[in-house]
């Protein structure tokens, strides 16, 4: 398992050979808390669930960081594979990935959680380094995740 992410029709490992710096996950959405402070009263009045009888949520925000696999040949299963993406530079990887993702709304499916998908806007950034350049994909996803089999929207 490579802990890859499928973004739209592209996979971070299969298509771009990006190596996650840590196991990718999507953060939980923030609860939109609304309180009112009344002078002369102890505490505050919580209006968070007043209109909807349950809390409402903001978007899921976070980022994933990947190393760019720069070598011409990648080592896999004790053999070298030559059909790997041959990035001539980290800037070539950055421009290719940014052209596909940056500022666009895409669906997102984590390899570790294939039964659910998310949707939202992505942003791509490059951290160049002589040895290990990094690509950071920031996300601003809708608050719910979608169960692929039932199309049910879930907040957890």
What confidence score (pLDDT) does residue 16 get?
87
Tell me the pLDDT band of 87, cut-offs 50, 70 and 90.
Answer: low
Mean pLDDT of 62-85: 61
Of 84 and 16, the structure prediction assigns the larger pLDDT to 16
Q: Please say if the pLDDT value at position 123 is more than 60.
A: yes
What value does the CA radius of gyration of the chain take, rounded to a whole number of Å? 20
Per-residue tokens: 39:
């002078």
What confidence score (pLDDT) does residue 116 get?
93
Task: Reply yes or no on domain 5-29+59-154 having CATH 2.30.30.
Answer: no
What confidence score (pLDDT) does residue 88 get?
57
Tell me the pLDDT band of 90, cut-offs 50, 70 and 90.
Answer: confident
Q: How many CB atoms lie within 10 A of CB 119?
A: 13
Tell me the pLDDT band of 132, cut-offs 50, 70 and 90.
Answer: confident
Q: Please say if the pLDDT value at position 114 is more than 70.
A: yes
Q: How many CB atoms lie within 10 A of CB 29?
A: 20
What confidence score (pLDDT) does residue 154 get?
72
What confidence score (pLDDT) does residue 70 get?
57
How far apart CA 94 and CA 2 sit, in angstroms, is 20
Q: What is the mean pLDDT of the chain?
A: 84
- Return the ∠ at Cα 148 (arms to 18 and 31), rounded to 5°: 85
Tell me which residue of 50, 128, 57, 146 sits closest to 91, measured CA to CA. 128
How far apart CA 97 and CA 22 sit, in angstroms, is 19
136-152 pLDDT tens trace: 999 999 999 998 877 77
How far apart CA 107 and CA 122 sit, in angstroms, is 10
What confidence score (pLDDT) does residue 140 get?
97
């Amino acid at each position: 398992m490579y802990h890859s992410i499928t973004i739209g029709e592209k996979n971070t490992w299969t298509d771009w050979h990006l190596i996650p710096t840590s196991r990718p996950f999507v953060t939980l959405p923030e609860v939109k808390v609304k309180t009112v402070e009344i002078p002369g009263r102890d505490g505050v009045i919580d209006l968070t669930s007043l209109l909807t009888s349950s809390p409402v949520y903001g978007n899921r925000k976070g980022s994933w960081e990947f190393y760019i696999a720069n070598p011409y040949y990648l080592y896999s299963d004790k053999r070298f594979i030559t059909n790997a993406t041959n990035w001539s530079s980290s800037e070539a990887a950055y421009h290719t990935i940014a052209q596909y993702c940056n500022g666009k709304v895409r669906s997102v499916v984590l390899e570790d959680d294939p039964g659910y998908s998310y949707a939202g806007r992505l942003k791509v950034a490059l951290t160049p380094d002589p040895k290990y350049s990094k690509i950071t994909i920031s996300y601003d996803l809708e608050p719910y995740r979608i169960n692929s089999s039932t199309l049910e929207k879930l907040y957890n």
